[in-house]
Chain A
Amino acid sequence: MPAEGATLGLIINPVAGMGGSVGLKGTDGEDVLREAWRRGARPAAEDRARGAVLRLSDSATPLRVLTGSGESGEDVARTAGLDVEVVHRSAPGPTTSADTRAAAEIMAARSVDLLLFVGGDGTARDVLSAVGDGVPVLGVPAGVKMHSAVFGTSPRNAGHLAALFLAGSPAARLREAEVMDLDEAAFRGDRLSARLYGYARSPYERHLSQNAKAGSGMSSEASLDLAARQVAAGMRPGRLYILGPGTTTRRVAHALGLSSTLLGVDAVVDGEFVGVDLDEQGILEAMQGRETWIVVGVLGGQGSLFGRGNQQISAEVIRRAGRDRIIVVSSLEKLIALETASLHVDTGDAEVDAMLAGFVRIETGPNRSTLFKVEA
């Protein structure tokens, strides 16, 4: 946990969010950016960055900020009166994702206590590709697409959380958070393709017990582990279990003594892998002649069940397994934190989406479950 003399990396993607204001579904790539400018979009990321940085300059913790030149961080940080060191200068012209990656790499090499970036899923992906799980990462929401789970709920809340974390507060803890992104080119053609790119270590604010009456139950980590063990213990001989991507299903694999692929889909029979990192075809082949159960977690900050981040588990796979053979595992905290009170399915097949809609049971802890609404 950081404390005295903390170092913050600050990366602003100055064009983040521009596409959204003029009806584009993202702002990734130079062509799209040009189109956004042509349609009259103006940068808004700096405003959102200011909201977050304001909270940091309020904080009593002495802070050193490593950032990019000008609009990629320096301007906002200096205006806020922070101690600034420019570690990356972008070439003249619009900032590119290469700038984001280059700056993030330097910050990771300098072991910043926290890398705060201002942008959307595209920026999150660039940051992740540069730093992996090397340094903690937190997003200030400013993009068009925000399926990743690394963002604060608002710029100011992100700033508040960053300040807590940098001050070493026990209220700020790290967890693994999904970095997801839609393929914008496909999205603009009204065809979706979303991927789970990986997990960043990201701070979140936990509620400390402030009085006897509130009490604190089992931590969500422990509950989730026990739920995963229960799922593993409930597996029956001869059945095929398809483990979707993510850290939640990885817990199920661990409970079986297996190490699953984090971003891929694996298949288990009788406690052993019969396939790892399978594509749709691989899954369908493994299903031949076997009763099949699908085990998935909830992906991303917007609560995707199928279709985003786990497309390998296709509509056909779901149809053949059947709705009653889907096991969903998630912490209650994650469900509560979702932006909407429902989970989303987008399998590309309207019939399967309709079959999945309604209430689904979610295992939230040992002998604990909840019913959660699923919408197509």
Chain B
Amino acid sequence: MSIEPKEYQAPVWHEPVIHQMGAAGRRGVLFNRVEKEVEAAVEPAESLIPDGVRRRSRPALPELSEPEVLYHYLRLSQQTLGMMGISLFGTCTMKYNPAVNEAIAWRPEITEVHPLQHEDTLQGTLEIVHRMDLILREVSGMDQFVFQAGGGAEAAYVNCAVTRGYHAARGELEQRDEIITTIQTHPSSAATAAAAGFKVVTLMLDENGYPSLDALKAAVSNRTAGLMVNNPDDMGVYNPEMKEWVRIVHEAGGLAFHDSANFNGIIGKLRPREIGFDACMFMLHKTFGAPKSGVGGPAVGAYGCSAELAPFLPSPLVAFDGSRYHLDYDRPQSIGKIREFWGNVPVVVKAYAWSLAMGAEGMAQVSDLSVLANNYMEKGLLAIRGVTRSHPEATSPRLEMTRYSLQTLKEETGVDIHDVQNRMTDFGIDAPWTSHEPWLIPEPFTPEAGEMWGREALDSWIAVLKKVSDEAYSNPEHVKAAPHRQAVHRLKPGATDDPATRAMTWRAHQRKTAR
């Protein structure tokens, strides 16, 4: 399909930081003074705060009227440089979050309940959580799920804690202090293993785009506590030898964890448990249709495991005795709490609604469409000048995404991936995702089409990259000066890498720029 990319124009508001707006004494809402009787009964509000933590001076909060605040955030929402265009953000599995699921999650039956209510008054909510558990058991082959983790990395951490619990129970924890992962597994596996006190052994890729069995064999020993791996990995490469991997790790006495974050390309087609994995993790806020909400949640990393590992899961578990749901705290081998209560229930509700709407057949179609769309894109993208694929000779399948490189484009034109990212946003395309660190492939980008974008969107994406490549060869300066039509111009690189200049709060910003 031939599409002529059209440049878009983002609104330019030159919006100040909220601390620079408003005026002293301005208020959005004025509250009445507390009635004397109430004050007498409760004592002054200040007295409720212990001396040691009481402020000595008032906080420097912005002072604005309500409409000023609303306009401010509306404008900021128009300056986000993304989430408004076509968003094929690799490893993020961007998909539409049906409005009806939002409406369900906002019903008072969800928003007005509290986890400390008596179980008898939470039967409906517990039923939803339990049924989502059953759905995920069916999808994964595992025996029990828990929704406590507030995201994928936290679910990876659950796995490390469960691994610790399992080996400790067998008296082998001191000896088994190593977790094996691969360089294209999501970095949160290595990070959480390290946080849990394990030594991390990372396997590099072979010519096929995944590590060799020989590398794994050289890595396992009686020190191996477990394997943590994505498959397909962060480049969309599927390692067809995974059954053998799991066998080798089991033989060495370790546990095998499938980080199923990249499940969109295999959902409904294979179950981690059937490959031999002892545990897996799904991100309900991506694969299962709940909002990704940027990086930071609210989210749910649903962690599932075999019956053998279930005693170590965090507490409580939602259990069903055939007539009544209850929260099971009586679990002596449990690793305890990973997070308060039993997880972000509204996210579970949205994922449950998505799963019911899709059904088993719909879920299987998700992986068909995702893989088809990715391979369709691959044909179009590799026809663009300056674009190559990682491990071009590898025959290993690419499932829901593919890692490309713009190294050739950079060599020939001086235009790099960041220039291309910036220029693509001028055409209403969200800046493509590059790669996790460290970059194995120079000048990388990794689009993930997913199942919900139509062919028109994919064709537009391809056409825009083609256009930017043409520009790079004919007028590289124009691409290097991009973006031209965004809310802000290119950010000066480096500031966020330097602890001396980056600031997470207004106060820190003032302190660091005062010097």
Give residues in A with beta carbon < 8 Å to B: 55, 58, 153-154, 156-157, 160, 169-171, 207-217, 332-333, 335-336, 341, 358-359, 361, 364, 367-373
Report the contact-size class of chain B (Cβ under 8 Å from the partner): 35 or more
Contact B219 A333 (CB under 8 A): no
Contacts A157-B411, A368-B202, A370-B204 supplied; 5 other A-B pairs, CB < 8 Å:
A170-B498, A171-B493, A207-B437, A214-B436, A371-B201
The answer to whether A170 touches B411, judged by C-beta atoms less than 8 angstroms apart, is no
Closest to B497 in A: A208
Would you call B4 an interface residue if the criterion is a C-beta within 8 Å of the partner chain's C-beta atoms? Answer: no
Min distance, Cβ A234 to any Cβ of chain B, angstroms: 12
* CB atoms of B219 and A371 under 8 A apart: yes
The answer to whether A160 touches B410, judged by C-beta atoms less than 8 angstroms apart, is yes
- Residues of chain B within 8 A of A154, CB atoms compared: 411
A208-B497, A213-B92, A213-B295 known; A367 vs B194 contact (CB < 8 Å): yes
Partner of B410 from A157, A213, A341 at Cβ < 8 Å: A157
Q: Is B376 an interface residue (CB 8 A)?
A: no
Which 7 pairs from chain A and chain B are nearest by CB? A170-B494, A359-B218, A367-B199, A370-B202, A208-B493, A156-B411, A368-B200
Q: What is the 8 Å Cβ interface bit string for chain B, positions 2-15, against chain A (1 contact, 0 not)?
A: 00000000000000
The stretch of B123-131, B427-435, B504-512 in contact with A is B427-435
| Closest beta carbon of chain B to A229's beta carbon, Å | 15
Q: Which residues of B contact A336 (CB under 8 A)?
A: 438-440
Contact (Cβ within 8 A) B431 A208:
no
Which residues of the partner chain A approach B439 to less than 8 Å between Cβ atoms?
A: 207, 336
* Cβ contacts under 8 Å, B199 to chain A: 367-369
Bitwise interface map of B from 410 to 422 toward A, beta carbon under 8 Å scored 1, else 0: 1110100010010
Distance in Å from the Cβ of A185 to the closest Cβ of chain B? 35
Interface members, chain B 462-515 (any A CB < 8 Å): 476, 493-494, 496-498
Are A370 and B201 in contact, CB atoms less than 8 angstroms apart?
A: yes
Task: Identify which of A169, A217, A335, A370 contacts B493 (C-beta below 8 A).
Answer: A169
A81 smallest CB distance to B (angstroms): 16
| Residues of chain B having any CB pair with chain A under 8 Å | 89, 92, 183, 187, 190, 194, 198-207, 214-215, 218-219, 294-295, 410-412, 414, 418, 421, 431, 433-440, 442, 476, 493-494, 496-498
A333 vs B437: C-alpha distance in the bound complex, in angstroms?
10
Q: In the docked arrangement, what's the CA distance between A332 and B203, Å?
A: 11
Contact B438 A333 (CB under 8 A): yes
Please tell me if the beta carbons of A213 and B433 are within 8 angstroms of each other in the complex. Answer: yes
Task: Report whether B497 and A216 are in contact in the complex, using a CB–CB cutoff of 8 Å.
Answer: yes
- Chain A residues whose CB sits within 8 angstroms of the CB of B494 once the complex forms: 169-171, 208
**Bound Cα distance A337, B448 (Å):** 26
Inter-chain CA distance A170–B496, complex, in Å, is 11
Distance from A35 Cβ to chain B, minimum over Cβ atoms (Å): 33
Bound: A364/B204 CA distance, A? 12
Residues of A within 8 A of B202 (CB): 332, 364, 368-370
Please report the C-alpha to C-alpha distance between residue A368 and residue B493 in the assembled complex, in whole angstroms.
29
Cα distance, A372 to B412, chains bound together (Å): 32
Q: With the chains together, A58 CA to B476 CA distance in Å? A: 10
User: Which B residue's beta carbon lies closest to that of A331?
Assistant: B438
Please tell me if the beta carbons of B437 and A216 are within 8 angstroms of each other in the complex.
Answer: yes
Complex: chain B residue closest to A341, CB-CB: B204
Closest CB-CB distance, B217 to chain A, in whole Å?
8
Bound-state CA distance A368–B187 (Å) is: 12
Q: Is the CB of B496 within 8 A of A160?
A: no
Tell me, in angstroms, the Cα distance from A220 to B206 when the chains sit together: 23
Closest chain-A Cβ to B300's Cβ sits at a distance in Å of 19
Bound complex: CA A169 to CA B416 (Å): 14
Shortest beta-carbon distance from A37 to chain B in Å: 31
18 CB < 8 A contacts A-B: A156-B414, A169-B493, A208-B494, A208-B496, A210-B418, A210-B421, A211-B433, A214-B436, A215-B437, A217-B437, A332-B202, A333-B438, A359-B215, A361-B201, A367-B198, A368-B199, A369-B202, A370-B201
CB of A341 within 8 A of CB of B205, answer yes
Q: Are A368 and B190 in contact (CB under 8 A)?
A: yes
Inside 8 A of A217's CB, which chain B residues have their CB?
187, 437
A364 to B190, CA, bound (A): 13
Contacts of A335 in B (CB 8 A): 204
Given contact pairs A341-B205, A371-B218, A170 touches B493 in the complex (Cβ within 8 A): yes
Inside 8 A of A211's CB, which chain B residues have their CB?
Answer: 431, 433-434
What residues of B have a CB within 8 angstroms of the CB of A364 in the complex? 202
Query: Would A341 and B200 be within 8 Å (CB), given that A154-B411, A333-B438, A359-B214 are in contact?
Result: no
Q: A209-B497, A217-B437, A371-B201 are in contact. Are A58 and B219 (CB under 8 A)?
A: no
**Chain A residues positioned under 8 Å from B219 (CB to CB):** 359, 371
A58 lies within 8 A of B414 (CB): yes
Chain A nearest CB, measured from B327 CB (Å) = 35
- Tell me the complex Cα distance, A343–B494, Å: 33
Please tell me which one of the listed residues B414, B421, B437 contacts residue A160 in the complex, with CB atoms under 8 A apart.
B414
Bound complex: CA A369 to CA B204 (Å)? 11
- Contact at A214–B437, with CB atoms within 8 Å? yes
When distances are taken between beta carbons in the complex, the residues of chain B under 8 Å from A216 are 437, 497
Known: A217-B187, A359-B215. A370 touches B411 (CB 8 A): no
Please report the C-alpha to C-alpha distance between residue A169 and residue B497 in the assembled complex, in whole angstroms. 12
Q: How far is the CB of B39 from chain A (nearest CB, A)?
A: 45
Separation of A211 and B490 alpha carbons in the complex (Å): 12
B497→A370 contact, CB < 8 A: no
